[in-house]
Amino acid sequence: MGPIHPSWSRFLLPFSALLVVVIAIALFTHQSAVVAQLNEWKLFPQAESFTELFLNNHLDLPKQVEKGQTVQFSFTIHNLEGKTMTYPYVVYLKTDGGYRIPIARNSVTLAHKESRLIKESYTFKNPKQKVTVFIELSGMSQNLHFRLPSAM
């Protein structure tokens, strides 16, 4: 292949510049469609979806529990799933002897980025054993728990 003919070279640079401008205008005017397609192909980083479950007042929990004492605690569910979610939850005590004592069973519906503080309490009638309080988000394999020692 030989050198470019002089008559072509005077058109090549303006034509290349015009082609670049046309492509840039096409991309700019159809940017949202291009971005949507690239997003659908997962070529852009995708937002992670998850749910936060945490205990609010862990520093205020008693060091030991006396008979008749009411222990109050609260937890928060924070929806970061990217869509509205319904969270069924269950709260219960489990004694060292293996007994399960229900405290609450309910559900909460949260929009994306919404959170809800949930308050619970339990009055101990016979705190002779150490107990573990469980908070479970049913069906999500997500839970938290904490120990409450008895007064010996």
Q: Do 71 and 144 fall within a single domain? A: yes
Contact status, residue 82 vs residue 48, Cβ threshold 8 Å = no
Q: Judge if pTM exceeds 0.85.
A: no
Task: Confirm whether 105 is domain-assigned.
Answer: yes
pLDDT in tens, 43-100: 778 778 899 999 998 888 888 888 888 999 999 999 999 999 999 999 999 988 888 9
The C-alpha atoms of residue 134 and residue 137 are separated, in whole angstroms, by: 10
Tell me the CA distances in angstroms from 130 to 21, 57, 66, 150, one per residue in order: 74, 19, 11, 5
The number of folded domains in the chain is 2
The C-alpha atoms of residue 148 and residue 150 are separated, in whole angstroms, by: 7
Q: Do 142 and 74 fall within a single domain? A: yes
